[in-house]
Amino acid sequence: MTDVFKRNNVRTIGQGDRAIIFAHGFGCSQNVWRHLAAVYRTKFKLILFDFVGSGQSDLSAYDSERYSSLDGYAKDVLEILEALNIKDALYIGHSVSTMIGVKAAIAQPSYFSKLIFISPSPCYINDGEYIGGLDREDLGNLLELMDSNYLGWSSFLAPQVMGNSDRPELGEELVANFCATDPDIAKEFARVTFLSDNRADLEKLQTESLTLQCSEDILAPLAVGYYLEKKAKGNTLKILKATGHCPHLSAPEEVIAAISAYINFE
C-alpha cells in the first residue's frame, strides 16, 4: 500500500475533535498556511500536506498518468483523510486546490463538512460570456515561456499573481516557492491547472461552501466569484478588501476573520 504520509509529507498538528485539511495551490507548499495554522491549531486538528512535486513530498511518487487531471490530486486528498480515519473535515483550499476539493467532495461527501475556497476558479480561460481571466492565446504564450525557461517564467509570473507590489517581499516568497517546485512536475501541473474546466462539477457539489474572492485578482476576477455563487449549491460569496491571488499570505487577518465568521469560531 502507498505510504500516503511520506508521499504527501503529511503533518498533523493542533488539538480538537474537528479537523481542518489545508490544500495549497500551484507552485506552493504547506508552509503558506502558517498564519491560519497558528490560529486554528488551538481548537482544531490540522492536517497539512504537500502535493506530489511540491514542498517535501516524495518526488518518486509522481505518476504522469495519475496526475494528468485534477482527479488524481483529489484521490490524494481522500487517501490522506482515509489514512487518518477522518470524516466531516473542514476543507480549506487555495486556487486550483479549490476545484480539487470540489472533486473530492463529490466523490466522498461524508469526508467533508464544509469547503472554503480561497481565490477559486473552475476555469481560467475566457469562454464566450464566461469570464475566467485569461485569453487562450495569452495562456498559450505563458505556457510556452514556462517550457523554455521555467525559472524566468516563475520570476515573471509570481509577483504579478501575488499583486501587492508595494510589498515586494510577498512576490519574492512566491517566486521562491515556484522555484523550489520540481520544474518537470510543475510544468505538467501548470497545464492541468490552467487548462482544466471544472464548471460542470459545481452543479454536482452538495457540500456547503464559502468563496473568498479578492477585490482584484489577475487570475480569478470578481466575475468568477459571482459565477461560483450562482452555480454551486449552498455557496456563500465573500468579497475581500485584499488584492492579489494569495490573501492568506498578503492579508491573513482578513481571511481568518472571514473563515471564523463562517464556521462560528471564536
Question: Per the structure block, which three cell numbers stand in for 49?
Answer: 500536506
148 is catalytic: no
CB contact at 8 A, 133 and 224 = yes
Within 10 angstroms of residue 42's Cβ, the number of other Cβ atoms is 10
Kindly state the cell numbers that stand for 16.
Answer: 480538537
> 95, 119, 154, 250: which one is catalytic?
95
Calpha distance 113→111 (Å, rounded): 7
Instruction: Give dist(CA 190, CA 15) in Å, integer.
Output: 35
Q: Which residues contact 253 (CB under 8 A, 6 or more apart)?
A: none
94 catalytic? Reply is no
Q: Which three cell numbers stand for residue 219?
A: 487570475
Catalytic one of 113, 119, 209, 245: 245
35: annotated active-site residue = no
What gap in Å lies between CA 205 and CA 199, rounded to an integer? 11
Helix-then-strand count for the chain, H and E: 12, 7
Q: What three-state secondary structure class fits 218?
A: coil
Residues with a catalytic annotation lie at: 95, 217, 245
